[in-house]
Amino acid sequence: MIHFQQATFLKSAAKVSQFPEDIGSEVAFVGRSNAGKSSALNALTCQKKLARVSGTPGRTQLINFFNLTEEVRLVDLPGYGYAAVPKAVKNAWHVLIDKYLTTRKSLKGLVLLMDIRHPLQTFEQEVLEWCSKSHLLVHVLLTKADKLSNSAARTQLDKVAQQMEQYGEVASIQLFSAIKKRGIEELREKLSKWLLDL
């Protein structure tokens, strides 16, 4: 197992030339601006301020890299959706993310975050389709599971899992709540296998 609690900030990148050296292995987190990406990263690493949490969705405007070891990293991609920024800036984000996803050899998989109450919107379907075609592993976190009862959350999990079958074996899914610390160990086990190539 990887010691996620040892995560440290490495650097932020606004362009490809600023990415760290493409060696080792890394997993990237992606999701809509209100999906709870920063909260999930902080819960995963048992750190309150590793990833910046904001009341204003879309504050992550750069690709942020975090070291777990010298050659193992977590990556926080800019949130998609509600950010109150000019269209030109959003377009630049999309180009940067596309460059990252299509050129990064050390990328082992994506963690795709969806609010359990509003899953599988257009952006999320596009990510899943791209991962399927690219044969890139993708693990879905149905975040904010604490907003539903246990039975309702399980029902939603089963429903979304069934809808995701079309994307094949690259895709997996689980319930997650940063507030209730639900699903953290399951996520750590999944990411350890990816990052260690088990």
- Checking if the pLDDT of 172 tops 90, the result is yes
- The model's pLDDT over 65-116, given as tens digits with 9 standing for 90+, comes to 999 999 999 999 987 765 566 677 667 777 888 899 999 999 999 999 999 9
- Checking if the pLDDT of 1 tops 80, the result is no
Residue 189: predicted pLDDT: 97
The CATH class of the 4-195 domain is alpha beta
Task: Write down the domain spans for the chain.
Answer: 4-195
How far is residue 149's CA from residue 32's CA, in Å, rounded to a whole number?
A: 23
pTM of the model: 0.92
Least confident of 52-56, 103-107, 184-188, 192-196: 52-56
Residue 82: predicted pLDDT: 53
Q: Return the beta strands (E) in the chain as ranges.
A: 8-13, 25-31, 63-69, 72-76, 107-115, 137-143, 171-175
Local structure of residue 168 (DSSP, 8 states): G
Question: Structure tokens of 165?
Answer: 């079958």
Exposed/middle/buried for 193, CB within 10 Å: 0-12, 13-18, 19+? middle
How far is residue 22's CA from residue 5's CA, in Å, rounded to a whole number?
A: 23
- The model's pLDDT over 5-61, given as tens digits with 9 standing for 90+, comes to 999 999 999 889 999 999 999 999 999 888 899 999 999 999 988 887 555 555 557
- Checking if the pLDDT of 187 tops 80, the result is yes
Q: Which of 71, 12, 74 is nearest to 42 (CA)?
A: 74
- The model's pLDDT over 132-163, given as tens digits with 9 standing for 90+, comes to 999 999 999 999 999 999 999 999 999 999 99
Helix axes 184-195, 37-45, angle to 10 degrees: 80
